[in-house]
Structure 1
Amino acid sequence: MIKKISLCAVLAIGLNASGYKVPEQSNDAVSLLSSNVATSFGPDAAYYNPANMVFLPDYRHYFENDLAWFHINRLKFKANDGKEITSTDFDSMATTFHFVSPSFYEDWRFGLSLAVPAGIGIGWDDPDAAFTGKLFKLKVVELNPSVAYRLSDTIGVGVGLRAVYTKGKVVTEVYGLGDRHLKGDSVDYGYNLALSYKPTENLAFAATYRSKVDLSIKGDAHISGGAAFNALVGTYDGAVSVKIPLPAALVLATSYKINDTTLLFAYERTFWSDFKGYDFEYSGNKPQTIYFQRLFDDKVERNYRDTNTFRFGVNHDLNKKYRIMGGFVYDEKAAKDSRSASFDLPDTKAYAFSLGLNYQATENLELNVGGLYQYRKKSEATLKGADLSRGVPAPKEIKGEFDTGNVWIISSGLKYKF
C-alpha cells in the first residue's frame, strides 16, 4: 500500500491512511498484506513483531533481503465544472533488509531492520493543481534495531528503537507567475513495543505498538517569479522548517494453524487525529506582504480521524519446498471532510489483494516472490486554488472528485541462515 520529498512531502507519512503509507516491508508482508504479526515466517519478525524473534525455529543467524517495484497509476480529478485534471504516474524501487541473531544469551535475541515505511511521487501540470502540488516527492527510511526476551515457553516480549530519516522536495507554482521550491531532511526517533502469547502450538496472539515520531524537517526554500510577482508578493531565499507527527499505530493480531494452513488476522489502529495541519516557519528575512502570507505562510489546516485497517492472510505449506500465501485488506479513509484532501495527498478508502510464493531452495536458502494490487475508491474533495481575474491573488475553491486509482507492488527476495 504504497504510496520520496520535501518539507511538505513528508506529510505523506501522516496524511494518507490508504494511499501513501507503506506497511509492506518484506516479501512475506507483500504476500500476506502485513497480516504476519502473530506468526512470523522469517527474520522480518524484527520489524513487524520483535517478540516473535524468540519463537523462530532456527537459532542461527537469519537474514532477509528484498527488492520491490512500486507503481502508482495516474490519478484523475474531475471538477464540478467539467474540467478534468490528470497527474503523472509514479514508479520506484526500494530494498529492505531484516536480520535476527542467534541466542547469544539464554532467552535473548537481537534484530535489525532497514525499511521504507512511507514514500510518494506525484506531480500535476495543470495550473490549478500545480498551485498546491506541481511536484511532490518523499523518501522515508527507517533503521529499527530491536531486542526480544522469552519470559516463558508461551510468552515473548520485544522492544525496538526507530531512527527515521526523511528527505524530500516540493514545488508549487502560482499560475505561471512565480513558484516555490522546498527541500529538506531530518533524522527523528521513536520506539516500538511487542508482545506475543502462544497458548498452544497452533494458536498465537500478539500486540505491537509503534510510537509517534515528531518529524522536525529543516531545509531551504526559494520563492520568486517575474517582476510583477516579485513586487506584489516578494521573494524569499533562505531557511525553512516544519514539524509534522508521524502518528502512532497499535496492532492486535492472531493466527491459527490448521494442518498445513495458517490463518492470520491483524487489526491496526492508526492515530491520524494527532495531525492537525502544518505551518512552514521561514527563519530568514521573509516578505511582509499580505499576498506572501496568503500564498505561502498561512497554516494549512487538516481534519483527520483515527483509522482502522483490517488485514487477513492465509499461508499454506504445499510441501517441504513450497509455501503459498494470499491476503486481503480493508483500509479506512483518514480525512474527515473534503477540505482535508489535496492534490499532493488525495485520501480515500482502499482495498488490497495479494499473492505470494516461497521456495526452499536448500536447507539454508529460501527464494520468494509476491505481489499486491490496491484499489482506491472515489473521493470528494474541496481543493485550494487562486483567482487572478482582478490582477491580484484571491482564494478560490475547486470542488470535485478524485477518480478511482490503483497501486501495484511486485517484490522478490531471499532468506539465508548461517
Structure 2
Amino acid sequence: MKNLWLKTSLALTVSAISTHSLGNGIAINEQSVSGMGTSFAGRASSANDASVLYGNPAGLSKLDRAQVTGGLAVIDAKIDIDDASDETAEGDMVPFAAVPFGYYASPIDDKWSWGLGFYVPYALVSDYEKSFGGRYKGLTSKVEVLTLQPTLSYRINDRVSVGFGPTINKIKGTLINRLDNTAVGGTGEAKLGIKGDDVGYGFNAGVMVDVTDQLTWGLTYHSKVDYTLEGRTKVSGGNGLIGLFNGRYDATLDFTTPESVDTSFAYQLDDRWTLFAGATWTRWSRLDAIVVENEGTPANLLGEVTEELKWHDTWSYAIGASYQLNPQWVLRTGLALDPSPAENAHRTVRIPVGNRKVFSIGAGWSPSDDLTVDVAYSYLKENPAKVNQEATELAGVDIAPGFSAEYNNSAHGLGVQATYRF
C-alpha cells in the first residue's frame, strides 16, 4: 500500500506539472512571446520589453520608458500512444491550454529601475479517457503554479547592469487514479483522489553586460523553491481489501523545484540582423527522491515513504536570429534542443516525454513608438519515449496493474503579446 500512495501522490508536483509545454521536465517556457519567436535563444541577453523581468532582471535597466507587457500562449498537443496492453490508449490526454503572463517596468532614475511580473512557471491539465490502459498509474491531473515577482535593477555603468527579484509561488493540484478492486476479492474499480497546495519563496538574479557595442552577454540564476504541500487523499468506491481504505486522510509532501542557470549572447551583426545563442543548465538531480508523510491511515500502514526518481541534470541549447525588415516590423526564428531529465527506467504515464526539438518563428509589429504587438509560433517534436511501469502490490496482489507503451509526442504553440510604453 505504501507504493500505491506514493506513486500516485508524486504526480501532484512532479509528473503532472509540465507534460507538454515548450519546456522539458517540469519546466514551462511560456513567459514571453517576443522571446518565443527565437526559441528563447537570447532570453538572458535581450531586453525587448518588460518580459525581460523573467528572462534577466538586470535587463530592466535597458528599458528607457515605463511600459506594460501582457499576453498569453496556447498549446495544442498531439499524443500518439503505442500501447502494449489490450486496453485503449487514445492520445487525447492533453487538452487545449492557455498560459497567461503580465509585466510592468519603469525607470526610477538614471541608475535604478523596478518592475512587477506575474507568470506561470509550471502548469498542466491532463485527462486520459476512462478506459486508458495505464489508468491505475495516472488518469487525471490538474496542477498550476502562479508566481509574482517584484524586481529591482541597477545600472553599474554604461555597460554593466544587475538585477534581483524575490518570487512568491503558489502551487495547487488535483490528481485522480483508479485502483483494481477485482484483484483483492472485490468488484469494479476504486477511485483515489489527491488535493494539495502550498506557497513557496525563491528569487531570480541576473547580470547583463554590453561586451562591445554589438555584443551583449547575460546570465540569469533562477533559485530553487521549497514546498511542503498539505492536503488530503481520498479513497472511494473501494471494496474487498481496498475497501478498508475508503475515507479521507491528511497528507504532506516535501518537494523542491530545482535551480537553473541561463546564459546567452546577442550579437548585432548590422542594422538589420541580430544573432542569438543560449544555453540553460537545470539541476534536475534534486529530484532524485521524494518523501511523503501521511496521517490517519488504517493501522498506520503508510508512514514515511520514499520514491526514487533518478532524474539527472541537463543542458538545453538554442540558437536564433531576428531581422529588422523596416522600422515597423521585426522577424524572428529559432531552434532549441531540450533533453528530458527522466531515464527510460523511471518514466511514467504522467510525464511520458523524450528529448525535444523546438522550431519557432515570430514577428513584432510597432505601429508607433508606444505600441508593439508580438506573435510567435512554435512546433515541438519529441523522440519516442518508452514507459514501462511495474504493477503495484498489496499483500502480494497486483491492485494496480503495470503498463507499458511508447509515446510519440508533438505540439503546436501559438503566442501573442502587446507592449504599451508611456
Question: Deviation per CA, 1:291-339, whole angstroms, max 9, x where unpaired?
Answer: xx5xx98533201100010011211111100011111100012013x23
- Answering whether residue 119 of structure 2 is matched by residue 108 of structure 1, we say no
Per the alignment, residue 249 of structure 2 pairs with 238
Structure 1, residues 169-204: CA drift from partner, whole Å, max 9, x if none?
100111342121111211100011101111222101
1:381 aligned to 2:387?
yes
Cross-structure match for 1:265 = 277
Q: Which residue of 1 aligns with 2:320?
A: 313
Q: Deviations over 1:197-233 (max 9, x none)?
A: 11222101111110111122111211132331444x5
Counterpart in 1 of 2:189? 177
**Closer/same/farther in 2, CA of residues 144 and 6 from structure 1, 3 Å limit:** farther
Secondary structure at the counterpart of residue 339 of structure 1? helix
CA distance in 1, matches of 2:396, 2:388: 24
Local SS of the residue matching 2:390: strand
Q: Distance in 1 between matches of 2:112 and 2:420?
A: 20
For residue 330 of structure 2, the aligned residue among 317, 323, 332 is 323
| Preserved CA contact (<8 Å) 1:214 1:243 | yes
Number of equivalent positions: 401
Deviations 1:252-311 (A, max 9, x none): 21110011111011100000000123233223x102386xx5xx9853320110001001
**2:34 matches 1:28:** yes
AA at the equivalent of 1:249: S
Q: Give 3-state SS (helix, strand or coil) of 1:393's partner.
A: strand
Aligned equivalents of 2:124 and 2:332: distance in 1? Answer: 27
Give the superposition deviation at 1:393.
3.0
Shift of 1:142: 1.1
Question: What are the within-5 Å matches in structure 2 for residues 138-217 of structure 1?
Answer: 138-175=143-180, 176-217=188-229
TM-score by length of 1: 0.89
The offset of 1:20, in angstroms, is 4.8
> What residue is the counterpart of 2:375 in the other structure?
369
- Tell me the amino acid that sits aligned with residue 267 of structure 1: A
1:144 is matched by which residue type in structure 2?
Q
Matches within 5 A, 1:222-371: 222-231=234-243, 233-259=244-270, 260-283=272-295, 285-288=296-299, 293=302, 298-336=305-343, 338-371=344-377
1:123 aligns with 2:127: yes
**Matches of 1:332 and 1:127 in 2, distance apart?**
27
Q: What is the match of residue 11 of structure 1?
A: 14
In the alignment, structure 2 segments of 5+ residues that lack a partner are 1-7, 181-187
Identity %: 21
SS of corresponding position for 2:199: strand
- Taking the aligned partners of 1:226 and 1:252, their CA distance within structure 2 comes to 51
Measured in 1, the distance between the counterparts of 2:29 and 2:72 equals 15
Give distance in 2, aligned partners of 1:77 and 1:248.
Answer: 34
Over 3 Å counting, the alpha-carbon distance change for 1:297 and 1:127 in structure 2 is farther
Q: CA deviation at 1:6?
A: 8.2
CA distance in 1, matches of 2:67, 2:94: 37
Unaligned runs of 5+ in 1: none
Question: In 2, Cα distance between the equivalents of 1:83 and 1:179?
Answer: 19
- How has the CA–CA distance of structure 1 residues 82 and 297 changed in structure 2, closer, same or farther, with 3 Å as cutoff? farther
Q: SS state of the match for residue 235, structure 2?
A: strand
Q: Is 1:255–1:265's contact at 8 Å kept on the other side of the alignment? A: yes
